[in-house]
Chain A
Amino acid sequence: MNANLRRHWLLQGIVSLGECGIFFVAVLGALPKSLRYWRELCRQVWFVGAMSLVIVMVCGLFVGMVLALQLYYTLSIFGGTAALGTVVALSLFRELGPVVTALLVAGRAGTAVTAEIGLMRATDQLDAMSMMAVDPLAYVASPRFLAGVIAMPLLECVFNAMGIFGGRELARARQRHLLGQHDFDGHVAWRRP
């Protein structure tokens, strides 16, 4: 009985996965048609991109500062604090920037888009569009997907920039002994341009 149930759930999982895959292909297929709705695309880029700016900037700033703080202690052991800027920048660009930005956008814009489409589904808005001969995939799903594709790299750049700025400001504060470190070795971690 349990084995049967498990098999059933497994099958259900596979079916759901397959449906997600088919839906994704359908969204990709509707992309050319969705370009007709460029106003909707702009609205979604604004919603996914511009409306996520504050949270991305704040998180980027603090991630950069924390990264710089932790790396500074480690690098100062070897007298390598001059490399702090490079290490912070590379860590952000290669690893933390894309991952944390993706998590933030998924958490803020992704959930909002999911809730919005869920509401549209529950209140028959998608059926109404379809009845008005407007493809909901092209009008609703594809513009949101494309907006994510456009906004994500830009948000990541903002995140990285804020992270580097945060790291720089922290290093400058350390350089000025503002953070109360007594064993500061005198190396300049970040230089003014």
Chain B
Amino acid sequence: MSHDQTASAKHEPSSDALVQVRGLRTRIGDKVIFDGLDLDVPRGSVTAVMGPSGTGKTTLLRHLTGQLRPDAGSVRVDGEEVAKLSRRALFALRERIGFLFQNSALLTDFSVFENVAFPLRQHAKLPEELLRDIVLTKLQAVGLRGAAGLMPSELSGGMARRVALARAIVFDPMLILYDEPFVGLDPIALNQVLRLIRTLNRTLGITSILVAHELAAIRQVADRVYLIANGKLVAQGAPDELAHQNSPWTRQFFGGEADGPVPFHYPAPDYATELGFAGRAQ
């Protein structure tokens, strides 16, 4: 597939899409993050969003949860136009979405148990015994039932991420957004987390959107990959299919090349001029 063919790959609007993004345009300061982004995430799928750093993958997740409003275009989650929801309706939608933050975002004053119990305590009036059982079940799923009494400051980065994952799934949400879920995990924990994501998807039909860079992990777990660059969707497909596509975008991204359509260097004045070497040559 040629570059143009890949870049202009139109996805077909799916009636069963849990997430629909149409013509999304976002600008932060002077920087254009999205310039007419379109994508669909089918219900019950595991979808990976990939792209170079700073391309707006986390920003896309923030659009899906209403933390950011688009300059133009629409973002629909479960049929609801996120930017037009009232605060109350937005919070009701967020109760059905789990979010795993890049840096875990555990509440530092609370123990591991209380962090996982926090959403339940706020939104569900459950008997203490049932709440305890649910929390311990989720902690067991991420292998940290024994760490329930620890404080976040006593956890390693990988453990904190697994606790945050337990918190994200404590309500069995319809959609889970994972922002860099594999960072800092050792191979054992990584495998378990991959298995957990797959199990949640298969047994409960939870739709998952992963923002990640680890192609090997994504190949194991994702049904579909979207590659975003320069504010647009530049490639999409099944992970194996995408890795073998012969477009400049996929070649550069999956081959880790510095040269290609995505510049490695942030725009800057001429290097030699800035170092004061211009005109001194010879």
Q: Which of A's residues lie within 8 Å of B, judged by CB?
A: 119-120, 123-125, 127-135
Q: In the complex, what residues of A have CB within 8 A of residue B67's CB?
A: 127, 130-131
Q: In the complex, what residues of A have CB within 8 A of residue B92's CB?
A: 133
| CB <8 Å contact, A125 and B91 | no
B31 contacts the other chain (CB 8 A) = no
B263 contacts the other chain (CB 8 A) = no
Select from chain B the residue with minimum beta-carbon distance to A128.
B105
11 contacts between A and B (CB under 8 A): A120-B108, A125-B105, A128-B106, A130-B67, A131-B94, A131-B99, A132-B119, A132-B167, A133-B95, A133-B123, A135-B91
* B105: contacting residue among A124, A133, A134, A135, CB under 8 A: A124
Q: In the complex, what residues of B have CB within 8 A of residue A134's CB?
A: 118-119, 122
Q: In the complex, what residues of B have CB within 8 A of residue A131's CB?
A: 65, 67, 94, 97, 99, 101
Q: In the complex, what residues of B have CB within 8 A of residue A129's CB?
A: 107
Q: How far is the CA of A119 from the CA of B152 in the complex (A)?
A: 14
**Of listed A125, A131, A134, residue having the most chain B CB within 10 A:** A131
Tell me the number of A-to-B contacts counted with CB atoms below 8 Å: 47
Q: In the complex, what residues of A have CB within 8 A of residue B105's CB?
A: 123-125, 127-128
Q: In the complex, what residues of B have CB within 8 A of residue A135's CB?
A: 91
* B94: contacting residue among A119, A123, A133, CB under 8 A: A133
1/0 per residue, CB under 8 A from A, across B121-150: the answer is: 011000000000000000000000000000
Q: In the complex, what residues of A have CB within 8 A of residue B97's CB?
A: 131
| CB <8 Å contact, A123 and B99 | no
* B108: contacting residue among A119, A132, A133, CB under 8 A: A119
Q: How far, in Å, is B56 (CB) from chain A's closest CB?
A: 17
| CB <8 Å contact, A123 and B122 | no
Q: How far is the CA of A128 from the CA of B115 in the complex (A)?
A: 11
B8 contacts the other chain (CB 8 A) = no
B103 contacts the other chain (CB 8 A) = yes
| CB <8 Å contact, A123 and B108 | yes
1/0 per residue, CB under 8 A from A, across B175-195: the answer is: 000000000000000000000
Q: A119-B108, A123-B108, A127-B67 are in contact. Are A132 and B118 (CB under 8 A)?
A: yes
Q: In the complex, what residues of B have CB within 8 A of residue A128's CB?
A: 99, 101, 105-107
Q: How far is the CA of A129 from the CA of B122 in the complex (A)?
A: 10
| CB <8 Å contact, B101 and A133 | no
Q: How far is the CA of A124 from the CA of B103 in the complex (A)?
A: 8
Q: In the complex, what residues of B have CB within 8 A of residue A124's CB?
A: 101-103, 105
Q: How far, in Å, is A29 (CB) from chain B's closest CB?
A: 11
Q: A119-B108, A123-B108, A127-B67 are in contact. Are A132 and B94 (CB under 8 A)?
A: yes
**Of listed A127, A132, A134, residue having the most chain B CB within 10 A:** A132
Q: In the complex, what residues of B have CB within 8 A of residue A119's CB?
A: 108
Q: How far is the CA of A94 from the CA of B192 in the complex (A)?
A: 65
Q: In the complex, what residues of A have CB within 8 A of residue B94's CB?
A: 130-133
Q: How far, in Å, is B214 (CB) from chain A's closest CB?
A: 21
Q: In the complex, what residues of B have CB within 8 A of residue A120's CB?
A: 108
Select from chain A the residue with minimum beta-carbon distance to B65.
A131
Q: How far, in Å, is A160 (CB) from chain B's closest CB?
A: 33
Q: How far, in Å, is A155 (CB) from chain B's closest CB?
A: 23
Q: In the complex, what residues of B have CB within 8 A of residue A127's CB?
A: 67, 101, 105
Q: How far is the CA of A50 from the CA of B65 in the complex (A)?
A: 39
| CB <8 Å contact, A133 and B99 | no
Q: How far is the CA of A134 from the CA of B167 in the complex (A)?
A: 14
What 5 additional pairs, Cβ within 8 angstroms, besides A132-B94, A132-B119, A134-B119? A124-B101, A128-B105, A130-B67, A131-B94, A134-B118
**Of listed A119, A133, A135, residue having the most chain B CB within 10 A:** A133
Q: How far is the CA of A131 from the CA of B93 in the complex (A)?
A: 10
Q: How far is the CA of A125 from the CA of B105 in the complex (A)?
A: 5
Select from chain A the residue with minimum beta-carbon distance to B122.
A134
Q: How far is the CA of A138 from the CA of B115 in the complex (A)?
A: 18
Q: In the complex, what residues of A have CB within 8 A of residue B101's CB?
A: 124, 127-128, 131
Kindly list the 5 A-B residue pairs having the minimum CB-CB distance in the complex, ordered from nearest.
A128-B105, A124-B105, A133-B91, A131-B99, A133-B94
Q: How far is the CA of A119 from the CA of B106 in the complex (A)?
A: 12
Q: How far is the CA of A130 from the CA of B92 in the complex (A)?
A: 11
Q: How far is the CA of A133 from the CA of B105 in the complex (A)?
A: 15
Q: How far is the CA of A131 from the CA of B123 in the complex (A)?
A: 13
Q: In the complex, what residues of A have CB within 8 A of residue B118's CB?
A: 132, 134
Q: How far is the CA of A135 from the CA of B102 in the complex (A)?
A: 21
